[in-house]
Structure 1
Amino acid sequence: MPFENPEREQIKQLLEANTTVAVVGLSDNPERTSHAVSQAMQQRGYRIIPVNPAAQGDILGERCYPDLASVPEPIGIVDVFRRSEFTPDIAREAVAAGAKVLWLQLGVYNEEAAEIARQGGLVVVMDRCIKVEDSILQPRIR
């Protein structure tokens, strides 16, 4: 059966229930999409946790971690800004970290990653921008 994203109402519920977002591939470069989207989500009240093995120090005022296993707090959503071929391993990390949602950003799609995450109990959203979905579904500042 081909993958289908959750209905909008379920996405709204996921966003309301999971306000801690680990962003895999978050860049410290303000001109990168991952930075702009994460900054906007942070301004809307989400707790952003940067995950990027190449980055050092803080991003958006938050400590950056090299991988999901290093994050010392519960993760609601794992938001992925990496190429599709890297997502199966990220899905495995998300399952091991106890995340609730695997969210692959716009342009990122991988059926294997979705199946790994679903088998691990996560809800999966693929090829959608979390910032756009939040703006559509949550028109107010938190």
Structure 2
Amino acid sequence: MASKIVQQTEELVQPILDELSLELVDIVYEKEGPNWFLRVYIDKDDGVDIEECGQVSERLSTKLDEADPITEAYFLEVSSPGVERPLKKETDFEKHIGKHVYVKLYEPISGEKEFTGDLVDFKDGNATIRYKEKTKQKEVEIPFAKIAKARLAVTFD
């Protein structure tokens, strides 16, 4: 059910985002305690502001009311993905080469299932991450299909 709601929401919100030159980062439909939340994360190169989030929220709310894909009561939230933005699509990786990332895998590579380091390349469906192990710099090439979760990672230098 949740995946169908996410898909329908994406179909409703994408034309709004295209018109406003905004990017859809993620849609999550989840229950927290007794309440359901439909969260839509949007972005653009120089970040989104509260006004843009409000605009998308108002327009999407109207479209959701018309289409009525959700039977239970829920809260709609439209926001920026924040500094630890998820990387969901191959194009997300391509756009964030040079950034610090956290990647969790479905299955281990070189005995590890999690890597935090710099995304140095993404080509032919593979992410190359440079990370530090003790005092050595290492690189790992990770096939996109093996990535369970990925996001930008904040560093404190």
TM-score of the superposed pair, with normalisation by structure 2: 0.27
Name whichever structure is richer in strand by fraction: 2
Name whichever structure is richer in helix by fraction: 1
TM-score of the superposed pair, with normalisation by structure 1: 0.29
Rg larger in structure? 2
